[in-house]
A and B are shown apart, each in its own frame.
Chain A
Amino acid sequence: MYLNQFLLLSAALFATGVYGVLARRNGVLVLMSIELILNAVNINLVAFAAFGNQPAGEVFALFVIAVAAAEVGVGLAMVLLLYRNRKSIDLAQIDLMRG
């Protein structure tokens, strides 16, 4: 197995996640796209751990999973608050601070 096949898969997932973050207007779907990006990073970390034959990369992948869990919890709480206050989670309408 080549190292590059994993890295290219990860790059494709990352690009798809970037597209989702930019194109989606639903707050929940933007958070899901961020999960896609974090997963692409994890594939990179584990692939390099296998390539360099040292488990430090796997440790970092576990840390990233933990941070992703925290991020989703806080992010969804914010989306819920947004929905409760404005009856909408359309990110295109969140322009309160526009100059």
Chain B
Amino acid sequence: MSTSTLFAATGGFDPLTGGEVMVAQNIAFAIMAVTMLVGAVRMVTTRNVVHAALYLVIVLAGAAGVFILLGAEFVGVTQVMVYIGAIIVLFLFGIMLTRGSFGDDDGVDGERRSMAAMVGALVLAVMAAALVDTFRDAELSRAQPSLTADVGDLIFSQYIVPFEAISVLLLAALIGAIVVARGD
């Protein structure tokens, strides 16, 4: 057994970073987390539908940053390309094609809103309590990015069946969307 694994086994010493606290990463995380939360809250409360889509862009970009911070570069880049590149454009098209049904305004009545806020707060409280109780001060030990080659190997060996299922699902969704949205 090498000394580094011995140290890792004896306590919270991180062999990759030499046990030092990752200050820069924590600052980056704080900035991204605050931006994402503000964007998410604005997204679900704003009256303007187009603004909501743009706030969603902020949240998705923040999530891509979090992925890269966690060392998952491939997932982060895929997030930018698929979500911000494709899904947001789809949403903007959907908003523009259904304009006039709501105008700019999404009228939400007070009772519905307060009930939804109660459910959301309850979900957050239960999950936060469970998480804090379970993973008290578990530290992330990895300071180096994961290899995209490893991810690719996994997809095309161990997870080949789900991958093929996803392919068929995407094809079915494509055909289904065309059939449903086609005019007559």
Contact = CB atoms under 8 A, between A and B. Distances in A.
On chain B, which size bracket covers the interface? 35 or more
18 contacts: A4-B136, A8-B128, A8-B131, A11-B123, A11-B124, A15-B124, A19-B117, A22-B116, A35-B56, A42-B63, A51-B138, A53-B142, A55-B146, A63-B163, A69-B87, A74-B176, A80-B180, A81-B180
A39 B154 CA distance: 22
A32 B56 contact: yes
Contacts of B102: 26, 89-90
A5 B135 CA distance: 10
Contact of A46 (B75, B101, B178): B75
Contacts of A77: 176-178, 180-181
A78 B66 CA distance: 32
Interface string B100-116: 01100011100011011
Contacts of B6: none
Contacts of A16: 37, 40-41, 43-44, 120
> Which applies to chain A's interface (DSSP): helix, strand, loop or mixed?
helix
Given A12-B124, A23-B113, A49 B72 contact: yes
Given A29-B106, A58-B74, A73 B91 contact: no
A4 B135 CA distance: 6
A79 to B, nearest CB: 6
Given A55-B151, A70-B170, A18 B119 contact: yes
Contacts of A76: 90-91, 93-94, 177, 181
Contacts of A89: 98, 101-102
A78 to B, nearest CB: 6
Contacts of B98: 27-28, 79-80, 83, 89
Contacts of A7: 131, 135
Interface in B126-152: 127-128, 131-132, 135-142, 146-147, 150-151
B9 interface: no
A68 B174 CA distance: 13
A84 to B, nearest CB: 7
B159 interface: yes
A36 B56 contact: yes
A74 B173 contact: yes
Contact of B155 (A46, A62, A90): A62
